[in-house]
Structure 1
Amino acid sequence: MSVRVLIADDQELVRTGLRMILDAQTDIEVVGVASDGAEAVALARRLRPDVCLIDIRMPVMDGLEATRELAGPTVAEPIPVVVITTFDLDEHVFAALRAGARGFLLKDAGPVLLADAVRAAARGDALIDPAVTVRLIEAFADSAPQRTSRAPSPLTDREEDVVEAVARGLSNGEIGRELHISLGTVKTHIASIMTKIGARNRVELAIWAHEGGRSLR
């Protein structure tokens, strides 16, 4: 069965390009498009797509509020949201993740990563563009006080390996191949790590790793 996707972007050229990329996938179907956040929320509630692909900066209602309306912590039946945008190192990236976004991509991420993010969101996983993860950590590092020692870790040695891989922007599949463990085991480790450190997404997990002085080799 195809993954049903709703696209929301205020630029017609972007909407058309995203639709062409996703419709070219044999397992993905674009079921609707919207030019602003309010239209996206209304369409999503009516069509109930498997995934919403939403730009942050749109008129009427921006992508952050649309994400919160569709996937926020108070939503009874949330719809997975992948935010796709240009990246300008501001609070909007963190805000989108706090609002409930399951994935985060740059608009120049490319067709493969775009389709992978949609598929990941549909199956309940999260995919954040490695470039976003790295730049978020760099931005955090520039503004955060430097620590002189590594904080004690509540994680096992294997969980530490997984954290460091996530912090380098690796996907679950890449982590599994690098550490020679199954995809299911990677997911189990990540869920355990997030519970232990109170992280809500992969970026918060990566920042936690950086704060503790863990290597991002």
Structure 2
Amino acid sequence: MTRPPSAAQRRVIDAADPVTGLLRGTQAQLASLVRHGLAFRHPRPPHDHFLTPAGHRIREAVPTAAAAEPVEPSPADGVFAARVGDPQESASGSGPERVRQVHSAWQGLLELRRMTNPDGATDRPCGWERTHLVRAAALALEAAGHRPAGQDADGYRVRATPQPEAVAVYAPDGEALSACAATLEGAGWQAGEYTEPRTRARYLLASPRRV
């Protein structure tokens, strides 16, 4: 797309499901987004429309006026964000409502796998997860009941790495680390334990499985 989306298009993009990218709008609006490469129409009934990677980038871009200060999505502004174990993450919303949000996000992600993986597989990560590695791994862990370090000193932490398609997962001890590895492997990731040469800290290097 060579020009920014119109205000009407931007409203439709901003209202998309934050995990699956499912869009709601008039047929004219959705068709316009498809023409501009920001959405695609799923070939299977009910032929819903979803954001393309370019559409996701526009949705997640920080507006120019606010670019000087990073924006962290939170339940307060109505945006779901998987918790990666940062100390500054809010502990609010950690009760039944958060459990429902996480469950809904995970089910939405499984549906996105079904619709976007060529063979419809739900046991293997999809393209969205490969472009949102930290959030995807954190969602898999939180959906399985692991607690992030931001709320629990003994919780997990998910961090980006310089390696392509890989994240680092830290946990307070070997048992917790093994539990995280089992969860990620069950969610379609491959994970191996490594030791940091300088700190001797153990961690998982996890990446989405392709087959």
State the TM-score, normalized to the length of structure 1.
Answer: 0.29
Structure index of larger Rg: 2
State the TM-score, normalized to the length of structure 2.
Answer: 0.29
| Bigger fraction of residues in helix | 1
